[in-house]
Amino acid sequence: MDSLSLKDLIELIIAVVALIISIIALYYTVTTFHLKRGQFLRYTFSRTSTVESQDCYISNITIENLKDKSSVIFQIYLQIGHNILMELDNFEGNPLVLDPYSIYSKSYDPIIYYDCGVREVKLNSILESNKLRDRMRIVLATSEGKVYPKSNRKLWSATSQFFDNFYLAIIRPIRLNYKGKSYGSNVKYLVDLEFRNGENYVVPIMNTKTQLYNFKDLNIGDCLNMNTKEVRNFFNEQRKKKVLDWKKIIVIDFESEIKKSKELLHGDQEKIVPLSFFQYFILGRIYTLLDKFKENRQNRKLLRKNRKVRGN
């Protein structure tokens, strides 16, 4: 009886294991079939208003192919409600082929105006409306007909958050690269040396008394108060003394390049401090709404003025 029970237990275990393996195999088969059949696309897009244009426009779109098969796309539209289709891209001459598990992303520049047939139309009140955001979706004309991709609402953008609250400070580190390497703001000169044996060295000369980079036991600090011509002469002297055997030299005034990059900045240097919850979420939101109201009023005045000019 005991041996029979043990035998039954072993058979039960084998049956359960076989059932689990069968379920896993079935799940894998169904999943593979699902990935091969139909299309599963996901999208995100961004709306932008800029001083370059009177019209709000779609500035960026990203489409993900989540299927294990290619997708052929002929046109990309933004559908608003039931009756508005805005063409974003047309690939009829050269269809866009999205490979399995690939991503298509494109940025768009500002527009001049929107055209519907032979008439100009205004969409600012629609595109800028957060209430209508849920009624906007991407529609694709594909080789399998009309496809409605799934919206990816999890995507976050710092830029879009800024337009919800102008108190948000988006900081970008600015770097200057030379031959694939970035150098800091304390670098005054870069001396690019090419030697006869084919080796190449870039020697940074710091704008400080302490030089972090020692090269061939040279006192590079002597170059601190020199101009580019004098720095070149310094390295020429080292070649005459046979300390260095370079065949080509480039002296870059890195300090001047830094000043050029800062010419694009406006105003004095600004100090940024972290804001409290009340300052950011309450005062910042109020400021943003007031600023947008003023901007929209100015845009409406400018639009009426332009219409009068066209009428004359």
Spatial CA neighbour of 201 closest among 223, 167, 225, 178: 178
Cα 40 to Cα 90: distance, rounded to the nearest angstrom? 21
Same domain, 146 and 232: no
Domain count, the chain: 3
Is residue 306 one of the residues assigned to a domain? yes
Find the domain containing 307 and state its range.
273-312
Does residue 27 sit within a domain?
no
137 shares its domain with 117:
yes
Same domain, residue pair 46 and 85: yes
- Report residues of the chain scoring pLDDT below 50: 1-2
Within this chain, do residues 96 and 183 fall inside the same structural domain, yes or no? no
* CATH code assigned at 90: 2.60.40
Is the same domain home to 129 and 58?
A: yes
Percent of the chain residues topping a pLDDT of 90 = 29
Quick check: is 10 in a domain?
no
Q: In the listed set 155, 189, 204, which residue is the last one of a domain according to the structure?
A: 155
Same domain, 218 and 287: no
Inside any domain, residue 143 = yes
Please report whether residue 21 resides in a domain.
Answer: no
Give the contacts of 158 (CB within 8 A, at least 6 positions apart): 168, 170
Distance from C-alpha of 140 to C-alpha of 63, rounded to nearest angstrom: 10
Residue 5 within a domain? no
One domain for residues 67 and 127: yes
Tell me the pLDDT tens digit for each residue of 55-69.
Answer: 889 999 999 998 888
Instruction: Say what the pLDDT of residue 1 is.
Output: 44
Three-state secondary structure string covering the chain: CHHHHHHHHHHHHHHHHHHHHHHHHHHHHHHHHHHHCCCCEEEEEEEECCCCCCCCEEEEEEEEECCCCCEEEEEEEEEECCCEEEEEEECCCCCEEECCCCEEEEECCCCCCEEECCEEECCHHHHCCCCCHHHEEEEEEECCEEECCEECCCCCCHHHHHHHCCCCCCCCCCCEEECCEEECCCEEEEEEEEECCCCEEEEEEECCCCCCCCCCCCCHHHHCCCCHHHHHHHHHHHHHCCCCCEEEEEEEEHHHHHHHHHCCCCCCCCCCCCCCHHHHHHHHHHHHHHHHHHHHHHHHHHHHHHHHHHHC
Distance CA 105, CA 103 (A): 6
Note whether 98 and 52 are same-domain residues. Answer: yes
Kindly state whether residues 239 and 277 are assigned to the same domain. Answer: no
How many other C-beta atoms can be found within 10 angstroms of the C-beta atom of residue 24?
Answer: 10
Does 118 map to a domain?
yes
Residues 143 and 66 in one domain: yes
Q: Kindly tell me the burial class for residue 277, based on how many C-beta atoms sit within 10 Å of its own C-beta (0-12, 13-18, 19 or more).
A: exposed
- Pick from 121, 155, 189: which residue ends a domain? 155
Does one domain contain both 112 and 86? Answer: yes
| Whether residues 257 and 200 fall in one domain | yes
Give me the pLDDT at residue 32, please.
Answer: 62
Q: Is residue 20, in this structure, part of any structural domain at all?
A: no
pLDDT of residue 216: 66
